[in-house]
Amino acid sequence: MATIDTQHSKLPGTGDEKVSYWQKYKHGHHWRNADDEFDAAKIGIWLFLATEVLLFSGMFCAYALFRLMYPESIAAGSSYLDWRWGGLNTVVLLISSFTMAMAIRNVQLNQQFWARINLLITFFCAAGFLAIKLIFEYIPKWGQGKRPGALFNYPFAETSHESVWWGIYYVSTGIHATHVIGGMVLIAWLLVRQHKRHFGPTHYTMMEGVGLYWHIVDLVWIFLFPLLYLVH
């Protein structure tokens, strides 16, 4: 396995004034030790992820029900979407998930430089995802009148519930995109804290938490992509 980047792991008490935050950090006062605090944070994050999954499950449920009630409307709606943009976005998100996992690994090994690079890649992948979504999908489709519900204005619709399809499409991808934006904010915050040397082998709880959140965003897209773009 990789070796520790000794350049950045200044030992305390050697006269070096710049002892990093992560080296000083012990644990909150109400915890018995740092391990308990870390485990608790992990359980907390997983519980939070549970709420995220259930939030999205509402959209999946709506999709499933309308899919079962009006299959050809949903299939027709799906055929308006280009799998190439969806596929590209899948790849972008998968890469970002990978770099996020790598960033955590870097921090665990105190490779601060690579952690920063990986976080930056993650951040730009997230931005790229949103850009692709907005420029190649939302804006053209909205312009063509492919809008949800009462705003529906697409004159070539053939099936009865296409407006409902667009409702599901915009809301589910929109909530997902909101989560991507939230993830970008969190990753930017990680970058700032990482720059201040807040994370290191003994203290990287925040990285881990944001990482898990970011993976769940990826996970939701892994299911949204085939359901919206490929199932017909």
Partner 1 sequence: MTTVDNNLDKLAGHGHHDEGSYLTPKYGPIGTVWDWMTTVDHKKIGVMYMFAVLFMFFLGGFAAIALRIELLEPARIIDGELTGAALKYFPGGGGENASIASAGNAYNRIMTMHGAIMVFMFIVPGIPASLGNFFLPLMLGAKDVAFPRLNLASWYVYVFGSMFGVLSIFMGGVDTGWTFYTPYSTTTAGQPQVIAMVLAAFILGFSSIFTGLNFIVTTHKLRAPGMGWFDMPLFIWAIYSTSIIQVLATPVIGITLLLLIFERVLQIGIFDPGLGGDPVLFQHFFWFYSHPVVYVMILPAMGIISEVLAVHCRKRIFGYRAIAFSSLAIAAISFLVWGHHMFTSQGELGAMIFSFLTFFVAIPTAVKVFNWIATLYKGSITFTTPMLYTFAFLFLFSIGGLTGLPLGALSTDLHLHDSYFVVAHFHYVMFGGTVIALLAGLHHWWPKFFGRMYHENGARLGCLLVFVGFNVTFFTQFFLGTQGMPRRYASYVDEFQIYHVISSIGSFTLAFGFVVHLIVFLHSMFLGEKATQNPWGGLTLEWETDTPPIEHNFHGDPVLTHGPYDFDEVVPPGWDPKDYPLPEPAPEGSKH
Partner 2 sequence: MSNEPNYAYNPDDPHGFHEHGEHEHVIVPWQILLGVLLALFVFTGLTIFQSQFEKFAAGTWGWDIPGWVNIVLAMTIAVIKGTLVVLYFMQLRYDKGINVILFLFTIMAVWLFIMFTALDLKNRGEITEWRAGEITAGGTGVGFGGNGFAVGREDINKMSGPIYLKVKESHKAEYIREFGIEAYNRELHAHHAAHGEHEEESNAWTSRTRTGLTPGLFSTGVWEGLEDDHHDSHGGHDDHAESHGDAHAEDSHGDDGHGDEEHHEDDGGH
Distance (Å, rounded) from C-alpha 103 to C-alpha 146?
A: 39
Angle 83-108/112-132 helices, nearest 10 degrees?
160
Nearer to partner 1, 90 or 172 (CB): 172
Q: Which of 152, 182, 188, 197 binds partner 1 (CB under 8 A)?
A: 152
Site string for partner 2, 182-201 (x = CB under 8 A): ------------------xx
- Rule CB under 8 A: is residue 185 a binding residue for partner 1? no
Q: Which of 34, 62, 120, 212 binds partner 1 (CB under 8 A)?
A: 62
Distance (Å, rounded) from C-alpha 53 to C-alpha 57?
A: 6
- Rule CB under 8 A: is residue 109 a binding residue for partner 2? yes
Distance (Å, rounded) from C-alpha 4 to C-alpha 111?
A: 7
Residue 203 DSSP SS3: strand
Q: Least distance (Å) from partner 2 to the CB of residue 31?
A: 12
Out of partner 1, partner 2, none, which partner does residue 1 contact, by CB within 5 to 8 A per kind?
partner 2
- Rule CB under 8 A: is residue 223 a binding residue for partner 1? no
- Rule CB under 8 A: is residue 21 a binding residue for partner 2? no
By CB under 8 A, the residues from 131 to 150 that bind partner 1 are 148-150
Distance (Å, rounded) from C-alpha 147 to C-alpha 9?
A: 54
Which of 229, 169, 213, 210 has its CA nearest to residue 53? 213
> Residue 68: how many CB atoms within 10 A of its CB?
9
Contact range with partner 1 by CB under 8 A, out of 42-50, 74-82, 88-96, 103-111: 42-50
Distance (Å, rounded) from C-alpha 52 to C-alpha 56?
A: 6
Q: Least distance (Å) from partner 2 to the CB of residue 53?
A: 5
DSSP label of 200 = B
Distance (Å, rounded) from C-alpha 152 to C-alpha 20?
A: 56
- Rule CB under 8 A: is residue 151 a binding residue for partner 1? yes
Contact range with partner 2 by CB under 8 A, out of 43-51, 134-142, 175-183, 186-194: 43-51
- Rule CB under 8 A: is residue 77 a binding residue for partner 1? no
